[in-house]
Amino acid sequence: MALGAVGANAAVIDFTAASTGTSGSVMGGAVTWTMTGSGYLNNSQLFDGNSKPTGTGLAFERDGYGVGLNDDEITTTPMRQEWIEIAFSSPVMVSAFYFLDLFQARTGGTLEVGQASIDGGAPVSLVAVDVAGTGAAGFVAAAFQPIYASVIRFTVLNSNDSLGYADGALAGIELAPVPVPAAGLMLLGGLGGLAMFRRRARA
């Protein structure tokens, strides 16, 4: 019943907010999420773009989450590929991913690509559009038809911006509302449970 009540509202898990840690809850507390990674999880870097993108619901207080004690980015080198994984206690509907610090080379020859794999499936790619060294935030959004997800793994493709190894920061996940039919079924289920409880109480 609680899920049905909040099903009409989309939500964003904002990894650019200073207060967002490595676990939390969504859908009115009905679903919890936990972040793990291939190393120390870090969102200590202040947002350093010359302007904050609009229309995302993100705070842009930080640059997002990365892996490493002194690094706020998910990095891929010829020797390793760092990752961050978000696991939900129950499936949720995701509709967008957000990255920061993904850049194209000034020459245009190379670029960074963030990737998100939902439940082990083919990755969703977030391709850099901002040019390195211009003061831009390296912000990329990937929006898509909502899909149920239990576990999402974020990595960065082995390409770069010609300034070093490929890297980028996880900025956010957008959750879509529960579809109306599903929300209605949950509401009916809750009402049915109440009716059964009342019958037992009368007996």
More confident residue, 107 or 66: 66
Share of the chain above pLDDT 90, in %: 73
More confident residue, 163 or 29: 29
pLDDT at 202 (0 to 100): 57
pLDDT at 164 (0 to 100): 86
**Per-residue pLDDT tens for 69-124?**
988 899 999 999 999 999 999 999 999 999 999 999 988 789 999 999 999 999 99
Is the model's pLDDT at 203 over the cut of 80? Answer: no
d(CA 56, CA 126): 15
pLDDT at 109 (0 to 100): 81
Q: Cα dihedral sign for 59, 60, 65, 71?
A: negative
* CATH number, domain 9-178: 2.60.120
| E strands in the chain | 11-14, 23-26, 31-37, 41-42, 66-67, 74-76, 84-100, 113-118, 124-127, 140-156, 166-175
More confident residue, 48 or 182: 48
More confident residue, 124 or 184: 124
Closest CA to 140 of 13, 14, 53: 53
